[in-house]
Amino acid sequence: MLKCQDLKLNIGQDISVVGFNDQDSYLSSQNLTYISHPLMEMGKRSVKMLEDLDQDIPISKVSTLIEPILNEGTSDKIKKSKLR
């Protein structure tokens, strides 16, 4: 984002920017579109998987996919407008 500012690019108008893993809520405070992960859900499922593995349930039966979360801001307007 700083480099875009240095280059005089308007984020969301001249260039799209998408971030990931908003650890400190910085990305959302900048109105940036970003991908995050449901960490609490990931922790709960991890514990359950370990318990299942401890009960000799095969790894193929306990693996799971946890969908990331799209947090929409205004930093990707170019892409959105081109899709419509």
Among 28-37, 44-53, 55-64, the range scoring the smallest mean pLDDT is 28-37
Listed in sequence order, the DSSP H helices in 12-71 are: 26-29, 39-54, 59-62
3-state secondary structure of 16: coil
pLDDT in tens, 41-57: 999 999 999 999 999 99
pTM of the model: 0.66
